[in-house]
């Protein structure tokens, strides 16, 4: 991602984020190459919107949360450490 953003100045703007994500997805998944960029960008936008509504609904209705809901912090920290992007602060508790 770092290299992509370094080489693509326009992708750094928030208004171009979904378009950039759509492009990266088409690069990662060759089966998407035939999909029009505008359509793929709309799909990315709708996926992100659905994700926001999903999280909002789970926040409003805790009884709808799955069994693994409380393990988010542990899973995120393990993955961040694995990827080497963990930002360990003075007050951050590591739960690996």
Please check whether residues 72 and 49 belong to one and the same domain.
no
What confidence score (pLDDT) does residue 44 get? 95
Please check whether residues 33 and 59 belong to one and the same domain.
yes
- Does the CA dihedral 27-44-41-6 come out positive or negative? negative
Please check whether residues 11 and 58 belong to one and the same domain.
yes
Q: Residue 54 sits in which domain range?
A: 2-65
Element (H, E) at 23: helix 17-28
What confidence score (pLDDT) does residue 58 get? 94
Helix, strand, or coil (residue 4): helix
Element (H, E) at 57: helix 37-60
Please check whether residues 27 and 57 belong to one and the same domain.
yes
Number of structural domains, the chain? Answer: 2
Please check whether residues 48 and 86 belong to one and the same domain.
no
Please check whether residues 61 and 94 belong to one and the same domain.
no
Please check whether residues 76 and 51 belong to one and the same domain.
no
Please check whether residues 57 and 79 belong to one and the same domain.
no
Q: What is the pLDDT along the chain (96 residues), one digit of tens a residue?
A: 889 999 999 999 999 999 999 999 999 999 998 899 999 999 999 999 999 999 999 999 999 999 888 888 888 888 888 888 766 664 566 665
What confidence score (pLDDT) does residue 68 get? 83
**84: region left, alpha or beta (phi > 0 left; psi from -120 to 50 alpha):** left
Query: Cβ neighbours of residue 61 under 8 Å, at least 6 residues apart?
Result: none
């Amino acid at each position: 991602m770092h290299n992509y953003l370094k080489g693509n100045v326009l992708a750094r703007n928030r208004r171009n984020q979904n378009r950039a994500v759509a492009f990266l997805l088409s690069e990662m998944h060759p089966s998407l190459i035939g999909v029009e960029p505008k359509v793929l960008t709309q799909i990315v936008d709708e996926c992100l919107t659905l994700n926001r509504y999903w999280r909002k609904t789970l926040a409003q209705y805790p009884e709808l949360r799955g069994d693994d809901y409380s393990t988010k912090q542990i899973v995120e920290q393990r993955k961040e450490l694995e990827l080497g992007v963990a930002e360990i602060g003075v007050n951050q508790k590591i739960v690996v």
